[in-house]
Structure 1
Amino acid sequence: MNTFPECHGIIPARYESSRFPGKPLANLLGKPMFWHVHSRASQCPLLKSVTLATDDQRIHDAAVELGVPVVMTSSDHTSGTDRVLEAARKLKLDNDAVVVNIQGDEPCLEPTMLEDLLSPFESPKVKVATLASAIGPEEAMSPDRVKVVRAQNGRALYFSRAPIPFDRDGKMHSYLLHIGLYAFRMEALVRFGHLDPSPLEQREKLEQLRLLEDGIDIYVTETNHACHGVDRPADLESVKTILEKNQ
């Protein structure tokens, strides 16, 4: 009988951002954004711990003041996944543990999305998992909306900024939008950290393609929940409205 692995959430939170410097510290209803992400993620019963990973002393100190577990990481990382790997190593997580990369700009995160994300790990064969949700054809045309196609067993076949699959007959009513929440078994996360950026990754600017090009399967679970990420300061007002409704 298989036992469900130990799961840990890590929230990468860097200060520098071209579109929104200091985003993790943005004030939402009297608390910094990272606090809301941590609070929501901590409601997932499958997570044994949720830790903030930052490269900035201001974020670190604010987390300590609010009682949010935090580790300092290098400022040299080129991706959030690399930061998550360093944090996981500092936390000395077991090789079979599952590490969840929780986006630090999702203050309205639904805890049940994390349960959806982790559900494939009931199988010991699953090394990496992510989420997707249905969107319409018009939204799928945007290169900012990453699409995914998957096999019947849920394994990702490809991710793209292009609308995939190509709708030759003009009959498609929905596509699968990739949601950037990832869960890795520690061994797969370490392997990812040793890989160089791949040709398709560099072409599409999608780091998950590095895994597929190396032959690492990614399993995709469809969720009914939507994301409400904060990319720019202008996004804060709509997020505040959602948080106020959920209070």
Structure 2
Amino acid sequence: MITIEGVRREYSSEVAIGPVDLIIPAGGITALIGPNGAGKSTLLTMVGRLMGMDAGAIEIAGYDVAKTKSADLAKIVSVLRQENHFITRLTVRQLVGFGRFPHTKGRLNRADEEVISRAIDFLDLGALEGRYLDELSGGQRQRAYVAMVLAQDTEVVLLDEPLNNLDMKHAVTMMAQLRRAADELGRTIVIVLHDINFAGHYADRICAMKDGRVVEFGSPEEIMTDAVLTRIFETPVQVIAGPHGPLAVYY
């Protein structure tokens, strides 16, 4: 479980995130949605302690994010940011192996190699594991980064727009794989998404943000309504019945 209490980040007297009070239950997928500048990525990076807070407190599985040692926190929560700047002359397997660093400090053993192989197989990267990152498409690299995060083998996984650089086919595949990670591996996944329909179809819970605050939190059925989405995005939205659940249509 992730508990966020009174969290605030101030950029100026006119621009701030929070205060945010939110409890994200353990397990499943929680999607953060909202218009650009709503504070989704900022909140995610504060939860992962990649950005400091000006006020408030965050706990993950009972650990105070601000006070827990980095080495211990890295065994509890893993984070994938939007921007990744790894040296391109790494192979996919070498990149995924970085996910084991909190556990091994670079000294991989047979058990670590097995975890790396499982993460590579889970993201269907077996045929690419010997390829260098600069030889891959943007979508292939994105899958490799997600495999690295899964190889870290943490209870909580934070993903900031992991569908970047993915076409429709691979975006669907990625969300299906994350759904499997939540269901089969028991991970708690918190993900920033721009596509509300991916959130509605794959997430267990949706947290909607606007102007730096949480304005709605609930099940997809509760959030995927004309009134709620129109208010959040400030543009007319109609929710229709799709073959696999509600679909938001913008007009």
TM-score interval, normalised by the smaller of the two chains: under 0.3
TM-score by length of 1: 0.25
1 or 2 for the larger relative contact order (CA 8 Å, sep ≥6)?
2
The answer to which structure has the higher strand fraction is 2
TM-score by length of 2: 0.25
